[in-house]
Amino acid sequence: MVDAVPKSPKRSRSAAPRTERPEVSGKSVGDTLAALLPEKLDVVARGGQESEYAYVVVDDGRGRSPVRINVQYVMVDAAGKLYADGETLPDGTRVATRQGPGEKAGSGVVMWTVDTLRPGAEGFRVVVSAFDTGDQNADATRDAPAPAMEQLRKIALSEEWDGVAVSGAGEVCTIDPRLCPHAPGCAHGPAGIQESSHLDTTAQPRMR
């Protein structure tokens, strides 16, 4: 009789709900950024983190200009402040642009930023910035960052980001939630979105 009792199926590892925030592979971020740069910009250095953040240093013949990028999933509930002065594209993507002083001590250093947030229950945020010096602790060495604002915007809004894989998702999955098939183990499937509701978009993206 004991043998006749059906055993409870074991929960597969890939089907277990994910409680952590889905993270985008830093290598994928860096490779995609490098591929999206204008052809006239030569990459002379690059680096980043294991997830979400990457940077390249480019030179157009007039001096070095770092370009850094953060790609991450965030909750959209508190996005109002970040994009209050920006625009909303027809597909629902929020875009904010900023031009201001650099973050460190260099004199005359400026930072140009394009901040985008795709629509969805768990928004997909791409933030790209560029500087007019190879070292933010030193004075500006250029008249302006190497990529123009319109080029930064084109990078941030590129459809190439839809194909970047989420690291640790159990299966390769597209970044864009609108394209995600929600396969078992997908980091931003229905369970992942529901259990990631503690995320806060009021915080600025982690950039080094």
* Per-residue pLDDT reduced to its tens digit, 80-103: 888 998 999 999 999 999 999 988
The amino acid occupying position 136 is Q
Residue 153 has pLDDT above 90, yes or no: yes
CB-CB contact of 73 with 80 (8 Å): no
What does the pLDDT read at residue 177?
A: 43
Could you tell me which residue, 154 or 206, shows the higher pLDDT? 154
Query: Is the pTM above the cut of 0.85?
Result: no
In our burial notation (b when 16+ CB lie closer than 10 A, e otherwise), range 147-184 reads bebebbbebbbbeebeebbbbebbeebbbbbeebeeee
What does the pLDDT read at residue 54?
A: 97
Average confidence (pLDDT) over 47-71: 96
Average confidence (pLDDT) over 119-142: 90
Average confidence (pLDDT) over 151-163: 94
